[in-house]
Amino acid sequence: SAVISQKPSRDICQRGTSLTIQCQVDSQVTMMFWYRQQPGQSLTLIATANQGSEATYESGFVIDKFPISRPNLTFSTLTVSNMSPEDSSIYLCSVYGTGSTDTQYFGPGTRLTVL
């Protein structure tokens, strides 16, 4: 299984500011995914991060609000821009199973609170 780390683990931010979340994987992976879990809700896919190309966003999510970078096969960032209290969520990155495992593995998440 892949070992995934995220930074920061949590943060409290002011309305109108931006936060960049980092996701690091211990092995090269083709696809990385960014999910959001709002309070009391299920996990929802924000976008798929491809190395060397633009991220693919799900309906309801736009690049201006959630810009994503994927500079190499082990790293990605998600920025939450111009934050409002509605952005308070847990943000998680995941990777498609490395090797022969057909599974998505998740990072520990970043708990974001916007005041």
Partner 1 sequence: DQQVKQNSPSLSVQEGRISILNCDYTNSMFDYFLWYKKYPAEGPTFLISISSIKDKNEDGRFTVFLNKSAKHLSLHIVPSQPGDSAVYFCAANAGGTSYGKLTFGQGTILTVHP
Q: Where do contacts with partner 1 occur on this chain (CB under 8 A)?
A: 1, 4, 9, 31, 33, 40-45, 48, 58, 92, 94, 96-97, 102-109, 111
Tell me whether residue 10 or residue 15 sits nearer to partner 1 (CB atom): 10
Tell me whether residue 42 or residue 53 sits nearer to partner 1 (CB atom): 42
Residue 46 token pair: 């924000």
Least distance (Å) between residue 48 CB and partner 1 = 7
Tell me whether residue 14 or residue 42 sits nearer to partner 1 (CB atom): 42
Q: At 85, phi and psi to the nearest 5?
A: -55, -25
Identity of the amino acid at 49: A
Least distance (Å) between residue 77 CB and partner 1 = 17
**What's the rounded Cα separation, in Å, for the pair 91 and 37?**
6
Tell me whether residue 9 or residue 18 sits nearer to partner 1 (CB atom): 9
Least distance (Å) between residue 39 CB and partner 1 = 12
Length of the chain: 115
**What's the rounded Cα separation, in Å, for the pair 47 and 41?**
18
Specify whether the CB–CB gap between 74 and 28 falls below 8 A: yes
